[in-house]
Amino acid sequence: MRKELSVILITGTFIGIAAVVLVLLGNLPNMGFCIACFERDITGALGLSDFRDFAWIRPEIIGILLGAFLAAFFTKEFHSEGGSSPITRFLLGMFVMIGALAFLGCPLRMILRMGGGDLNAVVGLIGFTVGIAVGVMFLKKGFVLGRTQKQPELESSVMPVIMVGLLMLLIFLPVFKASGPIFVAGKGHVGADGTSVSQNIGIIISLGIGLLVGILAQRSRLCLAGGIRDIILIRNGVLMSGFIAILLFTLVCNIILGNFHLGFENQPIAHSAHLWNFLGMTLVGLGSTFLGGCPLRQLVLAGNGNTDSALTILGMFAGAAFAHNFGLVKAASIYGKGAVIIGLIVILIIGYINREKSNAQ
């Protein structure tokens, strides 16, 4: 237990410091890491969505998954498994992304926003916890998406190969057609400045940090949804300690650097529509509980060889493209509000149906 706690605390400390460093190097304020936002940026870069403001094939996402893959491979923990309700997991991934974009951040960014003084993120945390608590109720009633089975090695290798392919696109920026992908934003992200030397440095730094985060997250099993779930379900706060470390180190670094601004208003890349901050993260918490992990954990599990998590990630990409192409990301948008409500209803139905299946067995 002591060794496990040490690894989790080391992981949390590194992520907290790394997030601040990435902001200093050019990432948006309070967005050193955001799995949902970065996956959204990739959809824009590939032309899958009309999001162009920060379109960029994010090296951090590539690094996290490949880092987890390398850690799993060299520790002989890489196991090709999956096949548990794939279409349902894809759908859950879509709605988790829609909820995260309604809030403007994944669970990891929620903690980073709190470390910068954003009280809107506290509202999100409350919603996230409520969603997990509801999910735990279903777990106690026997909710299960089905049992995983051993899969061909080729299946589990697809997602790492996709990440290598994305890295090649990022490095070489091929031109497939005039005014077409690969799109690159001209502002807001590390190295997003065309083909200059600083772009190459940005890729190396972001990829390197992502690789280290992936390795550490694979060894520590870090997961915010899992941490809150464990507190509710088995009264165990070990996993949660990693995110407490992230919060504390981010908070201290932001105060030292003068980047801590306490309040609801004028927070970077945030809004104060409290109901939708709450409900958006409720959707993320409930979906993550059913999926067995938050967006960060899904990247790590995919690196471990879990094809169910790979499908969840593809669902999140699809959710990001769908959300931006159909205008679902604005807090004031009636379509965005409707998507969050529909997502909550659909996931509750999924929970009820799969609970009934489990009880019948």
pLDDT digits (tens, 9 = 90+) for 320-329: 999 999 988 8
pLDDT < 70 positions in the chain? 186-201, 331-332, 356-361
- What is the dihedral angle through the alpha carbons of 77, 82, 84, 90, rounded to the nearest 10 degrees? 110
pTM of the full structure: 0.93
Q: In 108-267, which ranges are E strands?
A: 149-150
Rounded distance, CA 154 to CA 288, Å?
A: 26
Burial 46-80 (b: 16+ CB within 10 A, else e): bbbbebeebbbbbbbbbbbbbbbbbbbeeeeebeb
CA angle 8, 226, 322 (to 5 degrees): 115
Q: How far apart are CA 52 and CA 270, in angstroms?
A: 18
State residue 306 phi and psi, 5-degree precision: -85, 110
Give residue 144's pLDDT: 92
What is the residue extent of each domain of the chain?
2-360
- Residue 118, strand partner residues: 263
Condensed to tens digits (0 to 9), the pLDDT of residues 179-196 reads: 888 988 864 344 333 333
What residues contact residue 292 under an 8 Å CB cut-off, 6+ apart? 226, 301
Are 41 and 55 within 8 A, CB to CB?
yes
What value does the CA radius of gyration of the chain take, rounded to a whole number of Å? Answer: 19
pLDDT of residue 191: 38
Measure the CA–CA gap between 174 and 176, rounded to whole angstroms: 6
Whether cis (ω within 30° of 0) applies to the bond prior to 182 is yes
- The residues pairing with 149 across neighbouring beta strands, listed in sequence order, are 82
At 356 the pLDDT is: 64
Hey, what amino acid is at 128?
A: F
Separation between Cα atoms, residue 17 and residue 77, nearest integer Å: 27
Rounded to the nearest 5°, which phi and psi values hold at 210?
A: -60, -45
Alpha carbon separation from 309 to 245, 288, 297, 314, 315 (Å, rounded): 26, 11, 9, 9, 10
Q: Which of 196, 44, 226, 215 is nearest to 128 (CA)?
A: 226
Q: What is the DSSP string of 194-234?
A: TTSHHHHHHHHHHHHHHHHHHHHHHHHT--HHHHHHHHHHH
Q: What is the pLDDT of residue 186?
A: 61
